[in-house]
Amino acid sequence: MTELVLSDLLRSVLRGLEITVILTISGSILAFVCAFVFGLGRVSRWRFIRVFSVCYIELFRGTSVFVQVFWLYYALPAFGLLLSPLLAGILGLGLNVGAYGAEVVRSAVQATGRDQYEACCALNFTRYQTFRYIILPQAFPRMLPVFGNNMVELMKASSIVSLISLSDITFQAQQFRIRTGQTFLPFAVTLIVYFILYLGILFFIRSVTRLANPQKVKV
Amino acid sequence: MISFSKKIKKYSFILGISLSFLYFIHSADCRANGESRPTRLEKLQKRGYVRIGLSNEPPWTVIDADGQVGGAGPDLTHAVFQRMGVSELQGVLSTFGGLIPGLLAGRSDAISSGLFIQPGRCQAVAFSEPDLCDREAFLMKKDMPLALKTYRDLATDSSLQVGVPAGGTEEREALAAGVPASRLVPVPDGPSGMIMLLAGRIQVYSLPASSAQHLVDLWRGQKFSLVTVEDAPVMCAGTAFSPNAVDLRDAYDHVLAKLKADGTYDRILRAHGFDPSLARGHTREEFCRGKESL
Amino acid sequence: MIIMEQIAASRPMVQISDVSKAFNGISVLDGLNLEIPIGQKVALLGPSGSGKTTILRLLMTLETIDAGQVRIEGVPMYEGAPDAPCLLPEGQIRAVRSRIGMVFQHFGLFPHLNVLNNIALPQILNGQAGKTEAENRAHELLQMVGLGEKAYLLPDQLSGGQKQRVAIARALALQPDILLFDEPTSALDPQRVSDVLDLLNMICRKTGTTMLLVTHEMEFARQFADRILFFDHGQIVEDGAPDVVFTNPKDNRTRAFLGLPVIDV
Ligand SMILES: Nc1ncnc2c1ncn2[C@@H]1O[C@H](COP(=O)(O)OP(=O)(O)O)[C@@H](O)[C@H]1O
Ligand SMILES: [Mg+2]
């Protein structure tokens, strides 16, 4: 194997990695926001918001992320909305994973015991105070492990963006194969890179979990 | 029973939303078709670059590690557009399956990626006159004592598994010659086809001759034999335009004919190992009409 | 002005008028009337399911009534017709609610906050004190309930009796005019009960706060209360001073409950 081929592979992987990382991080941020907006919207007092949230959640959970990204990129231009490939990718992945996240937020919030709401009422908290200081701090740590899984799923799903002319790491590996005929090397490298990204997400979620959980004092 | 009908209500609601969404897209499409734009070329000239939909199919299209675009198709298209007053070519890289949707969605101005002209595709896009033409080839392992020359030969030997490019024209040719669908194996890309050959998953890999030659060159250490298919017609690719950009396509054809006449065409094709003489005498009409031209 | 204040002072702290309440069509309270003067310590006794908790919960606005009216020192909690009362809107009901505190059977402490913050946060969120002031007050209250050195532990690092004492301190921190206790010792180990009862006794002596206590500790109710209410099926069947109710109740259901011989009519 020549040095030329190796440097070609390195450049391809790095360029693909950049796209994969951008998609994973931006997509996760969008998914996080959607999860909260629609997860809480789902239990809102206003019927309209509830219905709207349910529509979003079911529409995006009930159809494949592949089709969603395809629509955002190839069908929206018919409305005169020409999203850049990167934006379409982030939107598709973020909205899809956000719909799953919304159910996580909803169930975590609803898992908080009734006694907590009643204590808040007895202490004369407003609805906002109840949510902000009592419900959310208890529900958030419960969401984190599932959010971590969702983030890993998003990272793995990000390889579908080759469909919309984004060169993520899987696509780059594939291009490298087509250029060189090498199959083992690019996919071995891709495998390792994905696994390292996975470990990164794991580490991130662990750190946030540690921050979000109350610190016990030694008795 | 109650929860069942509730569910039906919920899903029909969602379905309704999606359908009205579809309807809007459809009507938007109709509107776009209705209006004609005589200034399409001028727009490109003013913008200074043309966006070309590509998938990596060497030697038709070659994309290097830094994303630089080359290969017979893009080089020829670039030369034509330069003559038309559009100096720069910008590649819009996607998978083979994403090429036509991307063109129709306005993501690219044209496709130049070895897209063969065939009746089905003529319905969807406006092809230029043929630019890159090729014969069909079979790739086999050299140590296999197979005397295959035609698709009909593939049909007679029922032990053969035949690899064909996914979404390519070879599948139809083989079916027409009597090869049962159960023995046709879709191959996602060249290197995969080679690995399938080596592993014995397929015994024959049917693909355009220039693609086959490229793969044999890449696998120089391995022993593969390449056979030109005798009962297959010459296939020609064209540069594809959106159906409402026929004016642009016509301008393209005009310049393409000039390049064919002045030798530029021959020079570019030879540089990539294509035979310029194959396109002579073939027309878009003929390929769009289909079989009876055989 | 003077006359107005006198009228206000003569108003009962709690006035429950013709209140009905049903759960899923099953009536729990039916036309209940009850007045509790300012500063009175009331013990609510009676068999399980007789509606004692329901009364405390509707005072705390954790339940709404189906008919009637509830007034806190003359201020109504419901608007609309008496047969279709509607709880006041959020902004107005909070002013009434701020005068009432409640201690639950199962404590209702916030598990993610340490003991100190469980007591300090409600003061801050109610705008009663800044952070430092609220924490100082929390420390004082913890000292008072005998948990001075537990300030930085989480609730689940405490025993049941300790948790309930924290919950009491938390309720006291907001200085309510009315304190509701719903079986505060029922969830505790028997040997921890006295800690909480001693604390309740102390508070009872020290403050002029109106108190309603639901309990099954008869001896304690007798020491603690100015007035005993005996409930059965949502009705007050006995209402009087502890000595009278405990030694010579007039209703047979009370007698049966207290293990006294039933009087033949
Ligand atoms: N949320 C509720 N839903 C249905 N029934 C209830 C509810 N709360 C109380 N009840 C019923 O109301 C009656 C009175 O309950 P409660 O006030 O808790 O009694 P006590 O506290 O005296 O034991 C009981 O029969 C109980 O089952
Ligand atoms: Mg009770």
- Give a yes or no: residue A217 inside a domain: no
Q: Does residue C252 surpass a pLDDT of 80?
A: yes
Report the candidate in A118, A120, A94, A117 with the shortest Cα–Cα distance to residue A37: A94
Q: How far apart are CA C175 and CA C119, in angstroms?
A: 12
Q: How far apart are CA B165 and CA B192, in angstroms?
A: 10
pLDDT mean over A190-201: 96
Query: Taking the mean position of all CA atoms in its chain, how far away is CA C5?
Result: 26
**Which pLDDT does position B31 carry in this prediction?**
47
pLDDT mean over B246-273: 95
Q: B116 near B288, Cβ under 8 Å?
A: no
Chains A and C touch (3+ CB pairs under 8 A): yes
Domain count, chain C: 2
**What would the pLDDT profile of C161-183 be if each residue is shown by its tens digit?**
999 999 999 999 999 999 999 99
The more confident residue out of B196 and B3 is B196
Q: Does residue B15 surpass a pLDDT of 50?
A: no
Q: Does residue B14 surpass a pLDDT of 70?
A: no
Torsion angle of the four alpha carbons B242, B244, B249, B251, in this order, in degrees rounded to the nearest 10: -150
Same domain, yes or no: C10 and C109: no
Q: Does residue B5 surpass a pLDDT of 50?
A: no
Task: List the structure tokens of A2.
Answer: 């020549």
Same domain, yes or no: C140 and C52: no
Q: B114 and chain A: CB distance < 8 Å anywhere?
A: no
Domain that holds residue C137: 101-174
Chains that touch B (3 or more CB pairs under 8 A): A
Same domain, yes or no: C36 and C131: no
Domain covering B40-133+235-286 in this structure, CATH number: 3.40.190.10
Q: Of the residues C129, C152, C174, which one is the last residue of a structural domain?
A: C174
Q: Which residue has the tokens 């008869």?
A: C218
Distance from CA of A29 to the nearest CA of C (A): 26
Distances (CA, A) of B58 to B65, B68, C143: 13, 13, 82
Percentage of chain C lying above the pLDDT 90 cut: 77
The gap between the terminal CA atoms of chain B, to the nearest Å, is: 61
Helices (H), chain C: 2-10, 52-59, 90-97, 115-125, 131-144, 160-173, 190-206, 218-224, 242-247, 252-258
**What would the pLDDT profile of C93-150 be if each residue is shown by its tens digit?**
999 999 999 999 999 999 999 999 999 999 999 999 999 999 999 999 999 999 999 9
**What would the pLDDT profile of A51-61 be if each residue is shown by its tens digit?**
999 999 999 99
- Sort out which chain C residues have CB atoms less than 8 A from A216's CB and list them: 153-154, 157
Percentage of chain B lying above the pLDDT 90 cut: 65
Q: Assign B140 to helix, strand or coil.
A: strand
Q: Does residue B130 surpass a pLDDT of 60?
A: yes
**Which pLDDT does position C8 carry in this prediction?**
52
Tell me if C97 and A125 make a contact (CB, 8 A cut-off): no
Contact C54 CB / ligand 1 (< 6 Å): yes
pLDDT mean over A32-53: 96
- Give a yes or no: residue A111 inside a domain: yes
Q: What is the DSSP letter of B212?
A: H
C166 CA → ligand 2 middle, Å: 21
**What would the pLDDT profile of C18-44 be if each residue is shown by its tens digit?**
999 999 999 999 999 999 999 999 999
Q: Does residue B111 surpass a pLDDT of 90?
A: yes
Nearest CA to ligand 1 atom 12: C28
CATH number of the domain within which A21 lies: 1.10.3720.10
* Mean pLDDT over each residue of chain B, to the nearest integer: 85
Q: Does residue C9 surpass a pLDDT of 70?
A: no
Cβ partners under 8 Å of residue A62, min gap 6: B14
Q: Which of A119, A134, A217 sits opposite C104 (nearest CB)?
A: A119
CATH number of the domain within which C38 lies: 3.40.50.300
Interface of A with C (CB under 8 A): 115-116, 118-119, 121-127, 129, 133-134, 137-138, 214, 216-217, 219
Q: Which of A62, A70, A177 sits opposite B191 (nearest CB)?
A: A177
Q: Judging by beta carbons within 10 Å of its beta carbon (0-12, 13-18, 19+), is residue A218 exposed, middle or buried?
A: exposed
Q: B125 near B111, Cβ under 8 Å?
A: yes
**In which band, very low, low, confident or very high, does the pLDDT at B138 lie, cut at 50, 70 and 90?**
very high
**In which band, very low, low, confident or very high, does the pLDDT at C255 lie, cut at 50, 70 and 90?**
confident
By most ligand atoms within 8 Å of CB, the mutation choice from C16, C24, C29, C54 for ligand 1 is C54
Same domain, yes or no: C136 and C59: no
Q: Does residue B4 surpass a pLDDT of 70?
A: no
Q: A199 near A23, Cβ under 8 Å?
A: no
Element counts in chain B: helices (H) and strands (E) = 12, 14
**What would the pLDDT profile of C188-239 be if each residue is shown by its tens digit?**
988 889 889 999 999 988 888 999 999 999 989 998 999 999 999 999 999 9
The more confident residue out of B13 and A191 is A191
Q: Which residues surround ligand 2, an ion (CB under 5 A)?
A: C 53
* Mean pLDDT over each residue of chain A, to the nearest integer: 93
- Give a yes or no: residue A216 inside a domain: no
- Give a yes or no: residue C147 inside a domain: yes
Tell me if A176 and B64 make a contact (CB, 8 A cut-off): no
Bridge partners of C43, per DSSP, are: C213, C228
Chains that touch C (3 or more CB pairs under 8 A): A
Q: Does residue B26 surpass a pLDDT of 80?
A: no
Task: Answer left, alpha or beta for residue A55, where phi above 0 means left and psi between -120 and 50 means alpha.
Answer: alpha
A139 CA → ligand 1 middle, Å: 29
- Sort out which chain A residues have CB atoms less than 8 A from B10's CB and list them: 54, 58
C220 CA → ligand 1 middle, Å: 24
Q: C61 near A121, Cβ under 8 Å?
A: yes
Domain that holds residue A127: 2-211
Q: In degrees rounded to 5, what are phi and psi of residue C75?
A: -90, 120
Same domain, yes or no: C168 and C49: no
Q: Does residue A179 surpass a pLDDT of 90?
A: no
Q: A174 near A43, Cβ under 8 Å?
A: no
B258 CA → ligand 2 middle, Å: 96
Q: Does residue B7 surpass a pLDDT of 60?
A: no
Same domain, yes or no: C142 and C232: no
- Sort out which chain A residues have CB atoms less than 8 A from B95's CB and list them: 162-163
CATH superfamily, region B136-228 = Periplasmic binding protein-like II (3.40.190.10)
Q: B234 near B286, Cβ under 8 Å?
A: no
Residue C76: cis peptide before it, omega within 30 degrees of 0: no
pLDDT mean over B14-33: 47
- Give a yes or no: residue C254 inside a domain: no
- Give a yes or no: residue A218 inside a domain: no
Q: Which of B64, B102, B194 sits opposite A165 (nearest CB)?
A: B102
**Which pLDDT does position A19 carry in this prediction?**
95
Domain count, chain A: 1
Tell me if C97 and A133 make a contact (CB, 8 A cut-off): no
Task: List the structure tokens of C190.
Answer: 């028997």
**In which band, very low, low, confident or very high, does the pLDDT at B144 lie, cut at 50, 70 and 90?**
confident
